[in-house]
Structure 1
C-alpha cells in the first residue's frame, strides 16, 4: 500500500509542470552561474596580467628582477591593498572581492550566487597558478644541463642538507629557549625555515643569465633536494601535531619514493625520449613538439603527485630529460609563449595571498609576532647564506651567490604556515611571525641575488684588466 502511494506520488511529480518549471529554473541558474564564473576568471586574468607587466616593467627600469615586480604587483591587487584578487583560503568572503562587486554592479549577478561564483572563480585561478609553476619548472628543466646537475650533485646535496638542518635547529631551539615557545609550535616554525622556493630563484637566475652557470646549477639542484627534504619535514611535523608521535614508516616511505621517482624517471626517461622524438618526427600536425613535451611533463607531474611528492618535481625531471634530445631548442622556443601566459599568474597569486596586515605594530597581537619574526628572518637568511660556504675545493665559485639563492621561501613557506594554521598548532603571534619571515625572504632575495652576481662580474672584469 505504502509502495503504491510513493509510486503514484512520484509519477505525479514527474509529470507535474511545477517540477518541470523548477528544473528549468535550476538549469538556467546553473548556466548563468557558469557565465558569471567565466566573467570573473576573465577579469582576474586582466588584473593579473596588468599587475605583472606594470610591476615587472617598473622593476626592469630600476635594475631589479622583473619577478620581484610581479610579486609586488600581486600584493597591490591582493588582500593587502586593493582587494581585486582575493581568495577564500585567506579568510576573504565574496563581498570582500572587488571583482565580485563589479560583476554584481555591471553584469547583474544576483547576490544569492555571489559566494558560489567567488569560490569557483578563485579555484580556477588557483589551478591556473599551479599549472603556471609546473610549466615554469618544465621550462627551467629544459634550460638546465642534466650532466652538469649530476656533476654538481654531491655539492648540491651538501648545500641542501645544511640549508635544511641549520635553520631548523637554530629556529626551533631559539624559539624554545629564548622566547619560551611551546615545543610543537617551535618545531613547526623551525620547519617553515627549511623550505626554498625553487620557482622564484630559478626565474631570477634565468633573468640574470646565470641559470647555466655552475652556481646556478648548484642552486637549482639544492633547491630540488630542499623540496624533497621539505616535504619529509612537513610530513613529520604534521604527523607530530596529529598523533603526538612521529611515524617513522611515513618518513621512510617519503624518502624512498622521492629517491626512486627522481632517479627512476630520469633513467626511464632516457630510454623513452628517443621513442618520443621518433613519434614527433612522424607527426604531420601543428604543435606536435610542444604538445608531446607537455604530455610527458604532465604525466611525470601526475606520478609525482600520486605518490605524495610535489608535481613541480615531475615537471622539472621531464624538462631535464627532454633537454638531452635533438628537439631541445625547438621545444624551448615553443614553451616560452606558454610560460609567458601561465607563469605570471603564479607569481601574482603568491603576492596577492600575502597579508601585510601582520606587519602592523598597532595591533597588539602583531607585536609579539614581529619580535619573533625578526629572529626568524635573521635565522632564515643566515641559515641559507652559510650553505654556500660549505662548498670546498673550488675557489672560483661565487659561494655567497649560492647561499643567497637559497633564501626565498615564497609559496613553499606559505604552505607550511597554512598547514600549521589549519592544524591549530600555531598561536596568532607565531603564525604572524612565519608569514612575515616568508614575506621578507621572498622579497629580499631577488635584488640580493642580482647584487651578488653583479659584484662578482665587476670583480672578474677588474682582475681581467689588471692581467691585461
Structure 2
C-alpha cells in the first residue's frame, strides 16, 4: 500500500532486472541526482515565492511540484501516473549523454523513480517524527476525546454523503460509489501539520485537536480502505481482517505511548554514554525507523509509527536538543515528499476538451463540495466551554493529499473505478490539497485577532 512496499515489489520484478545491471548503476545515480536538483530548486523557489506572497511555504512546494511534474515541464515523472521514460526530460538527457538503448532508459527510469519515491516516503516519515516531537502528549491527551469525535465525524459524514450522492444523483453502482466515498474520508496529516507548524499553531488547542484527529482519521482511513479493497476484490467484506486492523491500530498507538514512559530513561542513558558524533540523533532515528517498521509490519502506515516515536521522545529531557538536530535532516528530505505529491498531480484531468473529462468534472464538483463541507462541519462537533476556532479545525481536516491518491490508485488498479470517476477523485484530491493551506491561514487569522483582543483587555486590567 505504501510507496516503500510498492518500490520493493517493483525492484523484485524480473522485468526490471536490467535496472540492477552494474552497467546501468552510474546512470541511475545520475538520474537520481538530477531529480534531486530539480526537487530542491523547485521547492526553494516555490517556498520563497509563497512566503513573499504571505502564504504557507508548503503550498509553494506543492505548486512547484505541479510545474516540474506531469502537468507541465515533465522534469519529475513517475510511472504510477502513467508516464513512460520517453515522457521524462531527465531521461532524454541521460539517453543523450550516455548513448543508451530505449530498453536501458526505460529500466533506469523505473528504478530512478522508485528511489525518489522511497526518499519521499522517508521524508514524510521524518516529517511525522518531527511533528510528534513538537507535539505535547499531555496536551494531546487533554483533547483526546474531542479529536476522536472530530475524526469520526470527518470520516462518516463525507463517506455517507459521497456514497449516497453518487448513487442517487449520478447512478453510480454501489461498489464504485463506496470506493469514491471512501476516498473522501482521509486527511493528509503531513500537509496539515506542516502548515500548522509553519504558522506557529501546532501547539495551540486547535492545532492539537487537528493533529490528534488527523492521526485517528488516518487509522480509520486504513480500516475503511481495507473494507473497500475487500469489496472490490470479492464483493464482500473480510470481517476477520477488519477486526485485526482495528485491534492492531489501537494496541499499537496506545501501547507505544504507554511503554514510552519506561523507555525514556533508557534512551537518555544510551545517548549520554555514546561519545561520538550523532550520539543523540542516531539513536532517535533508529527508534523512529523501528517504530515505523513495526507499524508497517502489522499493516498500518509507517507514518503512524514515526509519529508515535516522536510523541514518546517528546517526554525526554533531551527533547529541545533533539529538535534542533532533527530540523536540518527534515529540511533535506521533507521537500522531496511535497514536491513529489505535486509532481504526481495530473491537471490534465481538468481539461474539458477531452470528452471523458466532462462527466468527471461534474462528478468532481459534487465530490469537492462534499469533501469540503464533510470536513468543515467537524469543527462544530467540538464541545466544551473553552473558546475555540471551529472553522480552523474544520479547514485543517480538508486536505486529502497523498492519502487520497492512494485510494484512487488502488481503485484504478482494481478496475472498480470508471475513467470519469477516477478523474473526479483525482481532481478532488488536487483541489483540497491546494485550497487547504491558504484557507487554513485565513481561518487561523481570526484566532490571532481574538487573542490580540484578549491580550489588550488583560493588559488594560493590569494597568488599572
Show the counterpart of 1:298.
289
1:311-351 CA-to-partner distances (Å, cap 9, x unmatched) read 00000000000010011011100000000000000000000
Deviation at 1:456, TM superposition (A): 2.2
Distance 1:282-1:464 versus aligned 2 partners, 3 A rule: closer
Which of 427, 430, 436 is equivalent to 2:418?
A: 427
Deviation at 1:393, TM superposition (A): 1.4
2: CA distance, partners of 1:175 / 1:66 = 35
Show the counterpart of 2:198.
207
Show the counterpart of 1:144.
135
Which of 316, 340, 344 is equivalent to 2:335?
A: 344
1: CA distance, partners of 2:168 / 2:82 = 33
**In the TM superposition, what are the counterparts of 1:252-331 in structure 2 within 5 Å?**
252-331=243-322
1: CA distance, partners of 2:19 / 2:359 = 52
**In the TM superposition, what are the counterparts of 1:390-429 in structure 2 within 5 Å?**
390-429=381-420
Which of 157, 178, 184 is equivalent to 2:175?
A: 184
2: CA distance, partners of 1:291 / 1:29 = 30
Deviation at 1:465, TM superposition (A): 4.4
1: CA distance, partners of 2:275 / 2:451 = 49
2: CA distance, partners of 1:131 / 1:29 = 22
Deviation at 1:106, TM superposition (A): 2.6
2: CA distance, partners of 1:265 / 1:29 = 38
Query: Quick check: 2:380–2:390 contact (8 Å CA) kept in 1?
Result: yes
Normalising by structure 1, we get a TM-score of 0.93
Larger radius of gyration: 1
Distance 1:27-1:125 versus aligned 2 partners, 3 A rule: closer
2: CA distance, partners of 1:355 / 1:40 = 22
Deviation at 1:31, TM superposition (A): 2.5
Normalising by structure 2, we get a TM-score of 0.94
1:357-394 CA-to-partner distances (Å, cap 9, x unmatched) read 00000101001110010010000000000001011113
Distance 1:465-1:113 versus aligned 2 partners, 3 A rule: same
Deviation at 1:29, TM superposition (A): 9.5
Where 2:24 maps in the other structure, the secondary structure is helix
Deviates more, 1:389-398 or 1:177-186: 389-398
1:101-156 CA-to-partner distances (Å, cap 9, x unmatched) read 01112343343310110011000000000000000000000000011111110000
2: CA distance, partners of 1:361 / 1:179 = 18
Where 1:32 maps in the other structure, the secondary structure is coil
Deviates more, 1:262-271 or 1:185-194: 262-271
Deviation at 1:250, TM superposition (A): 1.0
Number of residue pairs matched by the alignment: 443
Query: Quick check: 1:36–1:109 contact (8 Å CA) kept in 2?
Result: no
Distance 1:30-1:380 versus aligned 2 partners, 3 A rule: same
Where 2:352 maps in the other structure, the secondary structure is coil
Structure 1 gap segments, 5+ residues each: 1-25
Deviates more, 1:293-302 or 1:100-109: 100-109
Backbone CA RMSD of aligned residues: 1.5
Deviation at 1:266, TM superposition (A): 1.0
1: CA distance, partners of 2:377 / 2:129 = 29
Which of 25, 29, 34 is equivalent to 1:38?
A: 29
1: CA distance, partners of 2:434 / 2:427 = 11
Structure 2 gap segments, 5+ residues each: 1-16
2: CA distance, partners of 1:27 / 1:186 = 41
